[in-house]
Amino acid sequence: TFTRIDKLIDFVWEDNAPAPKISADFFGVRWTGMIRIPITGSYLFKSRLPRANPLKLFIDNQSLTLKETNCYGICWWENNIYLEGDKWHPIQIEFFHKQKKAEMKFHWRMPGSSSTVFVPSEYFRTQNF
């Protein structure tokens, strides 16, 4: 195991290991910290990863079940959650890769927006900040 801070969750490992001394198959990644929600409303969270690889998302210690969409081997998984704005919320993302073609991307759509984008790095911080 190892620890690092990722500014953006945008990884395409393909058949490569996510880090030195970590297997390219059968590995797990957990991102924990805080996410800043700028305005109150319904947020769509989306992740892109292989169909057979489980993902768990927790916001405010509440499990958010992501639904599969646009799936052709690599799938988009998404769901909405209503969040209070102008505050930091605890977030945890758990990704478990089984084998072949590892990929993980994390996007959101803010209230009033029509497009999903990567969650910008300034909206993340460590829990001990």
Q: How far apart are CA 85 and CA 102, in angstroms?
A: 33
- Alpha-carbon dihedral 44, 48, 51, 55, rounded to 10 degrees: -60
How high is the pLDDT of residue 73?
74
For the cut 90, the answer to whether the pLDDT of residue 64 exceeds it is yes
Q: How many CB atoms lie within 10 A of CB 128?
A: 6
Q: Where do the domains of the chain lie, and which CATH numbers do they carry?
A: 10-17+27-125 (2.60.120.1560)
How high is the pLDDT of residue 69?
80
Q: How many CB atoms lie within 10 A of CB 95?
A: 23
Higher-pLDDT residue of 81, 14: 81
What Rg value do the Cα atoms of the chain yield, rounded? 15
pTM of the predicted protein model? 0.88
